[in-house]
Amino acid sequence: MVKQDREPGKTARLRRQLLEWYARNRRDLPWRRSPDPYAIWVAEIMLQQTRVAVVVERYQAFLARFPTLVSLALAPEEDVLALWSGLGYYRRARMLHKAAQFVANQHQGNLPASAAELRTLPGIGAYTAAAIASIAHGEVVPVVDGNVERVLCRLEGWEFGSRAGGATLKRRIEELAAQLVDPAQPGEFNQALMELGATVCLPRNPQCLVCPVAPDCKTQGEHKTAPRPRMLSREVAHALSVRTGRQPGQANREVLLEQRAASLTVMPGLWELPALGDTAVPEDQLRMTVRHAIMQVNYYVRIRTVFEDDVEAMTVAGGERRWVPLGEAAGVALTGLARKVLTRAHLLSGAALDAIAPQTEDDVV
Ligand code: SF4
Instruction: Residue 305: give its domain's CATH number.
Output: 3.90.79.10
Q: What is the pLDDT of residues 2-45, one digit of tens each?
A: 455 678 788 999 999 999 999 999 999 999 988 899 999 999 99
Q: Kindly indicate the confidence band of residue 354, based on its pLDDT and cuts at 50, 70 and 90.
A: very low
In the reported structure, the alpha carbon of residue 127 is separated from the centroid of ligand 1 by a whole-number distance in angstroms of: 22
Mean pLDDT of the chain: 86
Residue 290 in this model has a pLDDT that exceeds 80: yes
Contact 271, 335 (CB under 8 A): yes
Q: Check which CATH number belongs to the domain holding 61 and give it.
A: 1.10.340.30
Query: Around Cβ 265, how many Cβ atoms within 10 Å?
Result: 6
Are 149 and 206 in the same domain? yes
* 173, 219, 223: residue to mutate for ligand 1 pocket, most atoms within 8 A of CB: 219
Residue 197 in this model has a pLDDT that exceeds 50: yes
Average pLDDT over residues 159-168: 69
Q: Is 305 helix (H, G, I), strand (E, B) or coil?
A: strand
The reported pLDDT for the residue numbered 4 is 52
Are 160 and 258 in the same domain? no
Are 26 and 97 in the same domain? yes
Please name every residue paired with 225 in a beta bridge, in sequence order, or none if there are none: 160
Contacting residues for 247 by C-beta, under 8 A, at least 6 apart:
325
Residue 247 lies in a domain: yes
Q: Which residue has the higher pLDDT, 246 or 145?
A: 145
Are 136 and 245 in the same domain? no
Residue 360 in this model has a pLDDT that exceeds 50: no
Atom of ligand 1 nearest to the CA of 218: 4
The reported pLDDT for the residue numbered 50 is 84
Domain final position from 216, 246, 280: 216
Please name every residue paired with 323 in a beta bridge, in sequence order, or none if there are none: 256
Are 262 and 288 in the same domain? yes
* 149, 213, 223: residue to mutate for ligand 1 pocket, most atoms within 8 A of CB: 213
Query: What gap in Å lies between CA 157 and CA 220, rounded to an integer?
Result: 9
The reported pLDDT for the residue numbered 134 is 97
CA 204 to chain centre: 21
Q: Which of 20, 44, 149, 254 is catalytic?
A: 44
The reported pLDDT for the residue numbered 48 is 86
The reported pLDDT for the residue numbered 165 is 62
In the reported structure, the alpha carbon of residue 153 is separated from the centroid of ligand 1 by a whole-number distance in angstroms of: 10
Residue 1 in this model has a pLDDT that exceeds 70: no
Which of 119-128, 180-189, 321-330, 354-363 has the largest mean confidence? 180-189
Is-above-0.75 flag for pTM? no
Q: Which residue has the higher pLDDT, 34 or 118?
A: 118
C-alpha to C-alpha distances, 135 to 3, 50, 72, 203, 282, nearest whole angstrom: 24, 20, 21, 25, 54
| Active-site residue flag, 44 | yes
Range of the domain at 108: 8-216
Residue nearest to atom 8 of ligand 1 (CA): 201
Query: For residue 300, what is the enclosing H or E element?
Result: strand 297-305
Q: Which residue has the higher pLDDT, 6 or 57?
A: 57
Average pLDDT over residues 302-322: 90
Contacts of 163-166 with CB under 8 Å at 24 or more apart are 163/226, 164/224, 164/226
In the reported structure, the alpha carbon of residue 95 is separated from the centroid of ligand 1 by a whole-number distance in angstroms of: 35
Are 199 and 69 in the same domain? yes
State the total domains in the chain.
Answer: 2
Average pLDDT over residues 258-279: 88
Span of 239-253, 258-272, 315-329 with lowest mean pLDDT: 239-253
Are 161 and 242 in the same domain? no
Contacting residues for 124 by C-beta, under 8 A, at least 6 apart:
41, 99, 118, 132
Q: Which residues does ligand 1 sit against, CB inside 6 Å?
A: 151, 154-155, 200-201, 206-208, 211, 213-214, 217, 219-221
